[in-house]
Structure 1
Amino acid sequence: MVRFSEFMQKWLYDSDGYYANFKAIGKEGDFYTAVSVSKFFGGAIAKHLIMLINEGKLSKNAEIFEIGAHQGYLLADIIEFIYTLKPNLLKTLSFNIIEPFESLQKVQKEYFKNSFGDLIKLKHYGSLKGVKSKEAFVVANEIFDAFPCELVFKGDMGYIENYNIKFSKISDNVKKISEKYYMEKGEVAVGYEEFAFDLYNAFERCYFLSFDYGDLEVRNDFSIRVYQKHNIYPLFDEELELKNAYKKSDITYDVNFSHLIDAFKEAGFEKEAYKTQLVALIDFGITELLEVVKEKKGFNAYLREANKVKTLIHPAMMGERFKMVSFVK
């Protein structure tokens, strides 16, 4: 038997794991993300970044990092909107992606080359441990739901044997975390503490921003599920054959934001904000960007983009389910 977290780690991050090679996101893939819905997601983040620079909270020479960049769409969208809103910043800001898989680094480099030619110099790092930066704005979209996790059920912990889930003796660390958040049933993420510590040590000054789905409160139920061509299968669904889904489909769960925030605070960060995606994107100025489209490209272009943005901010869609959290060092 192996811990479920070890099984999930191999499922997603082995050399032949689900995330090791480029996967389509959106209509042709297994799932949607905010990035695949609308460029204005990155545009709103770019507008927020510019505001931080204008207010003196970041300098114009800061380094911009994305973690979990997939093809590089989000960082490219941020750059595109910086060019539109304050193009002189492209002369002083530098752009980086942290990506452990060389196959994905290649895809990202090609996308940036096709998008920007030689205008933007993109630098890659294999991990946070290789970064030493004075000042950075770091963005990550939907990465914490993909950290390996342990399954907890009534004082026991999940293990895998022959693609079957069994519950047995819980480890001291997992027991400590589950008791802290009064969790009897659900997922305990593995690695939040190490990630926050590595992030803190990588930068002298840092503004970190992330979007993901989950809540501050523990549901005391399993949220872990498998996505396959936009079909959702709870992990314990009788129709799901774990052996067939292994490394071929995405596996994810709701983020316990209380655990995540505590991990960052323990590493030394100050929590700057925690909001729904709806509130965050409105605060960042996404509706103001839509007004710019109306002025410059007309009502029909505005309407097309507004319909996409609706998916991002409508409470019944992604607006309430997804949360934004930011931290400052």
Structure 2
Amino acid sequence: MQEWLYGEGAIFGTIGYYHTARIGTLGDFYTNVSVGKFFGYCIGYYLHTILMQNSLKGRIAIVEIGSEKGDLISDVAEFFAQFDAHLMLDFLTLEPLISLQNLQQNTFKTRNLNISCICDFNALKACNYDYILFLSNELLDAFACEILWHNTMAFINKETLKLTFKPASEEMLELADLFKISIGEIPMHAFSFAKNLADSAPKWLFLGFDYGDLKPRNAFSLRFYQNHTTENLFLDSTTKNYNQRLLKNFGLTDITYDVNFALWQEAFLCAGGKTWFLHRQNRTLVEMGLDKMCSWYIEKFGLESYMLQSGKLRTLISPGAFGERFFGFAFANF
């Protein structure tokens, strides 16, 4: 999965899927960010509230991880520029892929925004920020995972692109036992990611949105997205029978799976954080101040402009759209 999504082509001969932009109505799938600016504006309103309520002082950065073209951090920065332009903040993306850094820089230039790209946590730590407020949208489901079936894990043959199951590693079995997982996907780097994030600044917050469950389903959810259609890798969610045809599209489709929020929550608790919230997306956006952000928007841009955009809000909060399928979460150490 790491090679499929992020690889340089050295192992399987195909450049990873995420080296080019694939998100949006014209891409393979769309996200909260594709719906419009209100999602980013609501996040901006919430982050501004945090800054004010906690009287944060010193050097502060808002950093998006997994930004693709850079639209979400751009919407957040645009909100701050219009809502409270006097705040001294830095806006950055953390992006290791050069191809996406170039796409993001083009977005920032086109939108006339002062946003920088940084390549990794070490470079971010060297900036010596006092506070970093991280944000992400559909980042966790893009972490490479291992596939567990009872005490075995999946391996792929790079010549035949066939799966075989062999005894799972000790590390994987420890995580499976800890989180009561017998069948499913396990992101092995969740704990190291949370630690690296926490080490990047004395005080930090990680705010994100993703889809998944609060406890393990003990069933496979790994699936492939292309042209707004999805297909499951496994023919039955509790057996090892799989669709080999899907594996022949190496690097050409997105791979995703349902996030185990219990595992990620524990990762951030172990990194010294505490849970601020973990709710369905519609509840999260409302509690973050969606209505207050909308009132501000009407006052600043007028009711007519708001009405042109308001229909998109239903996609974000409707139970039949993103509202119940997605979760919002925040972990922080202050």
Runs of at least 5 residues in structure 1 that lack an aligned partner in the other structure: 1-7
Cα displacement (A) at 1:59:
3.3
Check 1:59–1:277 CA distance in 2 against 1; reply closer, same or farther (3 A cut): farther
Counterpart residue type for residue 79 of structure 1: A
Q: 1:273 to 1:37 in 2, by over 3 A?
A: same
Aligned partner of 1:130: which letter?
A
The equivalences for 1:212-231 within 5 A come to: 212-231=210-229
Distance in 1 separating the partners of 2:53 and 2:294: 23
Amino acid at match of 2:261: F
* Structure 2 residue 136 is matched with structure 1 residue 140: yes
Instruction: Confirm or deny that 1:241 pairs with 2:245.
Output: yes
User: Shift of the alpha carbon at 1:291?
Assistant: 3.2
Secondary structure, aligned partner of 2:266: helix
8 Å contact 1:291–1:302 — kept in the other structure? Answer: no
Distance 1:260 1:31 in 2: 24
Q: Is the 8 A contact 2:58 2:130 kept in 1?
A: no
TM-score scaled to structure 1, two decimals?
0.91
Amino acid at match of 2:144: P
After superposition, give the CA deviation of every residue in 1:4-31 in whole Å (9 maximum; x if it has no partner): xxxx00000112100122x232211011
Q: 1:172 aligns with which of 170, 173, 177?
A: 170
- TM-superposed CA distance for 1:150, in Å, is 0.9
Q: Structure 1 residue 316 and structure 2 residue 316: aligned?
A: no
Deviation at 1:142, TM superposition (A): 0.9
Quickly say closer, same or farther: Cα 1:100–1:41, change in 2 above 3 A: same
Determine the structure 1 residue equivalent to 2:42. 44
The code of the aligned residue for 1:52 comes to I
- Alpha-carbon shift at residue 295 of structure 1 (Å): 4.5
- 1:294 deviates by 4.0
More deviation, 318-327/286-295 = 286-295
Query: Equivalent of 1:154, from 150, 156, 159?
Result: 150
What is the alpha-carbon distance in structure 2 between the residues aligned to residue 184 and residue 64 of structure 1? 38
Measured after TM superposition, the shift of residue 296 of structure 1 is 4.9
- Give the structure-2-normalised TM-score: 0.90
C-alpha separation between the residues in 2 aligned to 1:256 and 1:57?
33
The residue number in structure 2 matching 1:34 is 32
Q: Could you tell me whether the CA contact under 8 Å between 1:53 and 1:60 is conserved in 2?
A: no
Q: Give the Cα–Cα distance (whole angstroms) in 2 for the partners of residues 19 and 65 of structure 1.
A: 19
Deviation of the 1:300 alpha carbon: 4.5
Contact 1:213 1:323 in 2 (8 A): yes
Q: Which residue of 2 aligns with 1:195?
A: 193
Do the aligned residues in 2 keep the contact of 1:278 with 1:319 (CA within 8 Å)?
yes
Aligned partners of 1:65 and 1:95 also within 8 Å: yes
For 1:304, the equivalent position in structure 2 comes to 308
Distance 2:291 2:248 in 1: 43
SS at 1:271 equivalent: strand
How far does residue 154 in structure 1 lie from its aligned partner after superposition?
A: 2.4
The aligned residue for residue 111 of structure 1 is: 107
Q: CA deviation at 1:56?
A: 2.3
Q: Does 1:253 align with 2:257?
A: yes
Residues 154 and 166, structure 2, Cα contact 8 Å, conserved in 1: yes
Partner of 1:84: 82
Q: Which residue of 2 aligns with 1:101?
A: 97
Distance 1:49 1:177 in 2: 33
Q: Which has the higher contact order (CA 8 A, sep 6+)?
A: 1
Distance 2:83 2:315 in 1: 24
Q: Deviations over 1:245-302 (max 9, x none)?
A: 2101100001100000111111212222111111111111222333344445555433
More helix by share: 1
Instruction: Pick which of 264-273 and 247-256 moved more.
Output: 264-273
Could you tell me which residue of structure 2 aligns to residue 273 of structure 1?
Answer: 277
Is the partner of 2:311 in helix, strand or coil?
helix
Residues 151 and 158 in structure 1, CA contact (< 8 A), matched pair in contact too: yes
Could you tell me the percent identity over the aligned residues? 35
Alpha-carbon distance, 1:224 to partner: 0.7
Shift of 1:176: 1.2
Instruction: Tell me, yes or no, if the aligned pair for 1:278 and 1:312 is still in contact at 8 Å.
Output: yes
Q: CA 1:233–1:54 in structure 2 vs 1: closer, same or farther (change >3 Å)?
A: same
2:70 to 69, 72, 96: 72
For structure 2, list consecutive stretches of 5 or more residues without a partner in the other structure.
Answer: 9-14, 236-241
- Displacement after TM superposition at 1:103 (Å): 1.4
Q: Is the 8 A contact 2:95 2:119 kept in 1?
A: yes
Q: Which amino acid aligns with 1:222?
A: F
The whole-number CA distance in structure 2 between the counterparts of 1:185 and 1:318 is 26
Bigger shift: 300-309 or 252-261?
Answer: 300-309
Report how far residue 110 of structure 1 moved.
1.3
Distance (whole Å) between structure 2 residues aligned to residue 276 and residue 243 of structure 1: 32
